[in-house]
Structure formats: C-alpha cells, structure tokens
C-alpha cells in the first residue's frame, strides 16, 4: 500500500486526516521581519481577523531598519505573552495569539551573544545591521556616529541606484577597516550597548524563549536558514556532546541558556566560542545556498525529509522575490524581503483547512499569490502520493 494511509508515518497520517476530517490546526508562518514593524503587525492582524491564533516565526526580527528594531522585539514579546490582541468587531471580544513559536535567526543570535559579552559577535552584528539597533536605543558614542554618518549613509548617497548587494559590500569593507583601526572605540561602544537595560532584558527574553528549530504534530519542521547538507542531499548536523541530529540542538540550546545567566556580567569571548561554529552551521549558511542546491536537484528535497523523518521543511534567511517551494509542499523558503532596506515587501504562509495560502506584500498591500497556493484537494493528493 505505497499510497495508502496505513503505510505512512503517524505524523503524515495526522496531517492528511486533519485535512480530510476538518481537524487540522491552522497556523501562519512569517520570517525575516528585520525591524519592519508595520508589515509584521499588518500580517498578524490579518491572521487574527481570520481566526488564526497559531504563529510560527522563523527568526531575524531585528537589524536593517533605522527605527523599529526594538519595537519589533517588544511587539513580539507582547504577542507571545498575550498582551497584544485584536478586538473582534462582531463579538466585541479580543482575540489573542494562543501559540507563538519563536525561532532564533543569525541576527538574533549575534544580538544575544553581544549582550552576553562576545566581542566577536558584536563586531559581526554591527556590520550586518546592529548599528541601527544601537541608534534606536539612543546610544551616544563618536564611533557609532562615525560609522552611521561618515560610512553607511555617505556610501548609500554616493552609490544610490546601485544594487543593494554592491552598496552593502562597500559599506562592509569600510566598516571592517574602521573597526580594525579603532579597537578601543569599538570596545567602549560595546560596553555602552551592554549597559542598556532595555536591550539586556530583551536579549535575555529572546534567549530564554527562542528555539533553534521546531517540529509540529504534522512533521512540519521550521528552521531559520536551512541545514548543513552534503552533495548527496544528506543532512549532517554536528555531533554535540555525543548526540547527533536535531536532538543535538536541544543540548546546545540548553548549554547556551546556561551561559545566559551571565547576562550583565563580564564574559570572555572564549566562553562563547564553542557555540559560534555550531550556530553558524545551522543558522547562517553563508557558504551554502541550501535552497539553490535543492532546486537544482529536487530529489534531494525528499532525501532531506526522509533522513529527518519529517514531512515538510520551512526556512527563511535567503531572500526571495516570491515564495520559494520545492516538490509541491515539501520545502518552502519564506524570506520575502520584508526589511525596508530591501524594499519593504514581505509575505507569509497560511496552513489551513483550505490548503496552503501564500500572501505577498506589494506597495504596502497584502495580496494572495494565487499561483503559489495549494488547494485542500491538491495538498491531500500531494501528501497521499508520497
């Protein structure tokens, strides 16, 4: 019974039955917000209005916005803790999010590691958007002013009209030089950042709330950037303390949280080093374009799912003009260039009784990307035929 429900994994059976019997627990997935509070809040409000109260957030909440990075973290916290809700105009009752899963992205981890005390993480963070968070926190320091005004904004004016990656590369080179030539100023700026009680509290909350991955009752796996994968399509997650695979990340996160009790105290960079390499391999695949590899050989997508015993994989991190999918409902890339730095687009996935709906944001308006959606019947057929 290759295509029969009995022969399928329990979680795949659960997904199919939920769709067939009307018991599927609906959710929305959003990724790579990067300080775009307006679009993030508009998407959340839309889903709450639709009665969807389960959210899967794939990381990278901050950086790349000049004004609202900290505001996004505060909104995220209020959403998670049911302090933010939306009044239903028909019933008069306030609807709250009931199940919010928060994954940590590479930008979030750099922020957390900075507040714990890693100078290495701080240097990387300020080169990839952390300067805007420090500006929003109203930190006063000559190095911050120089990097923002004399380097970042000056280069943006000079290269206006060029592709964002060209501008970013030039800014990165000049920031690198300034950081290398002014080590004491950078150390002082980091100290000022760690003296900010609001930043410290938000970093501590993220550390204790965030996850490195999440798998739901249907075998849908959420990670930020992808997974380290060889040319044969097999995933190789580093062995950590004698444990390999996804469960090794649980041990890693537990140890990282233990180090978090040191937030606000002096911690040497060496104390953070054991985490950096493993986080990098899971959270920031700069050297490995996970989605591109899979799109070039779609069979690898099924290999990844089979090896991890999952039914679907949802990742962010890699910017796409529109939602990226492989093999129907096997793998989704949902970083839809939400940061204002990249044009304030964005979007979301909705898994519901009706199938999979893809939303995109265009000129501030939320639209359904009809061509990318899967109806209930299409989704059931795709899942049944695996």
The pLDDT of residue 275 is 42
- At residue 268, does pLDDT exceed 60? no
DSSP helix/strand/coil, 233: coil
Q: Which of 119-128, 169-178, 249-258, 356-365 has the lowest mean pLDDT?
A: 249-258
Instruction: Describe the strand order of the beta sheet including 312-315 as a list of residue ranges.
Output: 213-215, 220-223, 312-315, 331-333, 324-326
Percentage above 90 pLDDT, the chain? 56
Alpha carbon distance 370, 323 (integer Å): 11
DSSP helix/strand/coil, 34: coil
- Mean per-residue pLDDT, 368-375: 93
Q: How confident is the model at residue 278 (pLDDT cuts 50, 70, 90)?
A: very low
Q: Which of 73-82, 333-342, 374-383 has the lowest mean pLDDT?
A: 333-342
Residues of the chain by 3-state class (helix, strand, coil), percent to 5: 50, 15, 35
Q: How confident is the model at residue 234 (pLDDT cuts 50, 70, 90)?
A: low
pLDDT in tens, 165-206: 899 899 999 999 999 999 999 999 999 999 999 999 999 999
pLDDT in tens, 45-69: 999 999 999 999 999 999 988 899 9
The tokens of 232 are what? 């044969």
| pTM of the shown model | 0.90
- At residue 292, does pLDDT exceed 50? yes
- Mean per-residue pLDDT, 232-255: 73
Of 28, 3, 25, 29, the C-alpha closest to 14 is 25
CB 159 within 8 A of CB 171: no
The tokens of 203 are what? 């970093």
Higher pLDDT, 229 or 219: 219
**Cα-only R_g, the chain:** 21
For the chain, list the domains and their CATH numbers.
5-127+197-384 (3.60.21.10), 138-195 (no CATH)
The pLDDT of residue 239 is 66
Alpha helices per DSSP H over the chain: 10-21, 37-49, 69-80, 106-116, 119-125, 131-136, 142-145, 154-158, 164-181, 183-194, 197-209, 246-259, 273-283, 290-296, 299-308, 376-384
Name the residue with tokens 């994968």: 229
Of 29, 32, 27, the C-alpha closest to 15 is 27
- Mean per-residue pLDDT, 150-166: 91
The pLDDT of residue 260 is 57
């Amino acid at each position: 019974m290759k295509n029969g429900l009995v022969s399928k994994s329990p979680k795949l059976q659960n997904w199919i039955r939920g769709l067939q019997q009307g018991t599927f627990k609906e959710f929305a997935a959003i990724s790579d917000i990067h300080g775009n509070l307006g679009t993030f809040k508009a998407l959340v409000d839309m889903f709450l209005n639709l009665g969807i109260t389960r959210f899967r957030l794939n990381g990278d909440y901050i950086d790349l916005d000049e004004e609202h990075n900290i505001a996004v973290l505060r909104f995220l916290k209020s959403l998670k803790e049911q302090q933010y809700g939306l009044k239903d105009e028909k019933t008069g009752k306030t609807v709250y999010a009931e199940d919010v899963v928060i994954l940590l992205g590479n930008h979030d981890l750099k922020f957390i590691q900075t507040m714990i005390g890693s100078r290495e993480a701080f240097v990387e963070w300020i080169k990839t958007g952390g300067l805007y968070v420090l500006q929003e926190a109203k930190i006063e320091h000559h190095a911050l002013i120089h990097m923002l005004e004399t380097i970042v904004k000056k280069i943006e004016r000079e290269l206006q009209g060029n592709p964002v990656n060209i501008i970013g590369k030039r800014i990165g080179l000049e920031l690198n030089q300034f950081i290398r030539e002014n080590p004491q100023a950078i150390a002082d700026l980091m100290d000022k950042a760690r003296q900010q009680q609001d930043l410290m509290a938000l970093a501590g909350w993220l550390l204790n709330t965030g996850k490195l991955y999440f798998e739901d009752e249907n075998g849908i796996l959420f990670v930020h950037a992808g997974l380290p994968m060889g040319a044969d399509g097999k995933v190789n997650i580093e062995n950590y303390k004698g444990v390999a695979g996804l469960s090794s990340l649980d041990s890693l996160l537990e140890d990282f949280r233990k180090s978090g009790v040191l937030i606000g105290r002096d911690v040497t960079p060496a104390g953070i080093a054991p985490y950096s390499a493993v986080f990098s391999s899971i959270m920031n695949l700069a050297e490995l374009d996970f989605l591109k590899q899979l799109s070039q050989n779609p069979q690898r997508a099924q290999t990844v799912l089979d090896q991890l015993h999952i039914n679907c994989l949802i990742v962010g991190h890699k910017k796409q003009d529109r939602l990226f999918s492989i093999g129907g409902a096997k793998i989704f890339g949902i970083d839809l260039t939400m940061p204002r730095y990249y044009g304030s687009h964005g979007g979301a996935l909705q898994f519901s009784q009706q199938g999979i709906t893809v939303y995109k944001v265009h000129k501030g308006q939320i639209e359904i990307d009809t061509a990318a959606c899967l109806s209930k019947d299409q989704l059931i057929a795709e899942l049944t035929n695996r």
